[in-house]
Structures are given as structure tokens and as C-alpha cells.
Amino acid sequence: MSDKRRVVVTGIGIISPLGIGNEPSWQGLIEGRSGIDTITKFDASAFACRIAGEVRGFEPEKWIEKKEVKKSDTFIHYAIAASQMAVDDAGIDTKSLDSDRLGVIIGSGIGGLPLIEEMHQKMLERGPSRISPFFIPGLIVNLAAGQVSIRFQAKGPSSAPATACATGSHAIGDAYKVIQNDEADVMFAGGSEAVVTPLAIGGFAAMRALSTRNDDPRHASRPFDLNRDGFVMGEGAGILLLEEREHAIGRGAKIYCELTGYGMSSDAYHITSPAEDGSGMMRVMQRAMKDAGLQPTDIDYINAHGTSTPVGDKTETVAIKRTFGEHAYKLAVSSTKSMTGHLLGAAGGLESAVAALVVKHGIIPPTINYETPDPECDLDYVPNTARTQKVRHVLSNSFGFGGTNATLIFSAHDV
């Protein structure tokens, strides 16, 4: 392992239902505050699910020229803003970098669905001549990475994974490997999503995947709780600035943590449900630990995928127990989706940012709304209150429809 180039996290950019920026989002998490409320982006009164984790008060003009805003979908706006936050946080002058060694891997699970719905309605009402010439480049998934690449003149590796709810983690893992393989020195990586729309809410509700606790939105997302009834849609972005370790040290960068492990697997089981024995989840965690050169007993905390679905949370618990054995009961395991909802393709980006902050600050965010233990979910889920604890290694899980799995490991950086 020692001959591999090491990769560290030097910048973070977060837009979430808890706030715009790293500090409000992190404070909301450690305070155990819910960012979930009644949907305001459209009239949801006729929908089975009428709640979501919306981003409130985001003004794209603060980050993007006003004339450019209407040329792209909200998920692209979030990605640009969060990337700028990561640059500012890292204290890096991207113009001073070798542009061929600066890359971008930012994905989205769904992309520009709001723009699709808007333009479809406009076409029906006013005809095809009213479709914007910016419609296609404003909605396709890779234009978040493309726009960030243009903004920062990042001419190195660029791509945009779209692996459902594992997207953000796959993007970060892929960027980590790009730096390890000496194809770049600095990478933007993460995910962005903005699909609190009629079609998305209606579609996920039709699958019976969403919580219908409409009368009590702040308590609707309750991972691992016996009375969980589905996930709550969230939106936002989580972008990390990853940097080769010596490059970061050479410019005197602050370092949050080191990214030490990445694993991928597929359940090869079902289009939406995880393999019931947790085997796919177990394999991806094992592969990440092998990549990091760690043993199960080295892991202190798991930021769980923990979506608040009956099957998903039970299966992840099974997988953790199969992977870690007796150590599973000594681990802290929490789901920050209890506060943010599920950001789909951005979830892994946001939760990776959280993992980095946990290592840096030694505070583990709780699983809120954990009221009634589920006999089939019997681990330490850090219920309701944040925990101060030294954390050396955090494992972050992301699992997506189609059985695609990603696990990342963030470790304390020892200079």
C-alpha cells in the first residue's frame, strides 16, 4: 500500500435541507435537527407523499451570472455552488494549478427532471417552437461536471456517474483512484440532485418507497426504527476537493482526513430491492477495507445508507453484522438521512462530507427519531443525540437501485 499515492480531503462544499454551506449543515446534524417539512415547490395536496427535505433560500445568482441561471437545471446550480464552496474552503487558487492535472467527477442520480417537466408542459401549451435551445445541455447528467470543469478550467479527467443512490460515493471513489493512478493531482468529486417534483414524488410514491407520515414531517425519516414506513426525498449537493497528499502539504493546506478505501459491488438480485442476505453490501464493505489495508476492528463509525425503508435498513444491519461479526456491536452506526432525507445521487457526496467532518471534529451525528427499537435492527445507532468520540476510521455506505453498491473509508490523517 505504501507505494500508492495518498489522497486527502482539503475542501468541502455542502448544500442540504439543513442549510446552505458547511457550517449550518454540520451544526444542524450535530444538533439533531430535521430539515424535512411539507413540500412547497409544487402543490402536493393530491399526492400520497406531501413531505420532503427541500433546500430553502438558495439564490443561484450568488454563484452564477443571472443571465446563465435559466440555461441550466437546479442540480447544476447546486453543483457549481458547492464546488465553489469547496474551493473557498480549501483555500486553493485553481488558476495556479496545472489545468491538465485538475479534474471533475460529479454525478447525479436523475439529473434535470424539473427542467424536463417544465419544458414538456411548455411544449404542450405553446408548441415545440417554445422549447429552449438550452433544454438539453441544461438537463443532462454530465453537465454538472461539465459546468464545474468550465468554471475552474479543469482539463483533466472528467466524468459523471449515474448509479442511482450510490452516485455520489462512486464519483468520489473514482476520483480517488484517478489521483492514486497519477492521472491528476486535484479532483472535484461528489453528487448533486434536485428532484422534488411532481413526477419524482409521484413516481417514488407509486412504488410505495416514500414515507406518508405527512402530518408529522420532522419525524417521518426514522432509519432503523420499528415504525419506519419509507424514505423521505431530499435535495442538495455534497462536493469534496480531493488532493494528492504531498501536493496538499506542499501548499500548506488544511487536511480534514485521508480517503483510504473504496469498494464496489453488485447484488445482481433485483431492480429495486437489496439481496436479502446482505451479501452484496457485505462484499462492498469488505472490498473497501481491503483497499484501505484495514481490519473490521479498525472501523470506529459507519455512516449508514440507512434510508428508513423497512427492507433496506434491516438488510444493511444484517450486512454489517455479517461483515464485522462481534465488532458490529461495538461500532457506532448512524444515518444522517434521518435529518436530511435521502438526496438520491447526492447522498454519497453529502455523507462523505459528513464522514470527513466526523474524523476532523470527533463528533458523531445521531440517528434522530429513533423511538421504538426494531428487534431485527439491534446495533448502536447513536439514537437522537450526537456523540463526542475520537474516530480514526469512518466507513460510509451507499446502495442504489439495480443492486449497485459503493463504500468509502475516511481515516484520520497522520502527517
342 flagged as catalytic: yes
DSSP 96: G
219 flagged as catalytic: no
Strand partners, 397: 407
Of the candidates 77, 247, 342, 413, the residue annotated as catalytic is: 342
Contact (Cβ atoms closer than 8 angstroms) between residue 155 and residue 127:
no
In the block, residue with C-alpha cell 420532522: 218
Of the candidates 49, 165, 257, 377, the residue annotated as catalytic is: 165
- Going by C-beta distance under 8 Å and a sequence separation of 6 or more, which residues neighbour residue 3? none
Distances in whole angstroms, Cα of residue 278 to Cα of each of 110, 314, 315, 400: 26, 9, 5, 13
Amino acid sitting at position 123 = M
357 phi, psi to nearest 5 deg:
-70, -35
- Going by C-beta distance under 8 Å and a sequence separation of 6 or more, which residues neighbour residue 152? 83, 87, 94, 102, 104, 188
Whether the CA torsion 203, 73, 177, 169 is positive or negative: it is: negative
Strand partners, 19: 16
49 flagged as catalytic: no
Distances in whole angstroms, Cα of residue 29 to Cα of each of 10, 227, 277, 378: 21, 22, 31, 23
Whether the CA torsion 143, 149, 155, 156 is positive or negative: it is: negative
Of the candidates 77, 170, 305, 413, the residue annotated as catalytic is: 305
- Between CA 172 and CA 105 the distance in angstroms is 7
DSSP 240-298: EEEEEHHHHHHTT----EEEEEEEEEE--S-SSSPPTT-HHHHHHHHHHHHHHT--GGG
Catalytic residues: 165, 305, 342
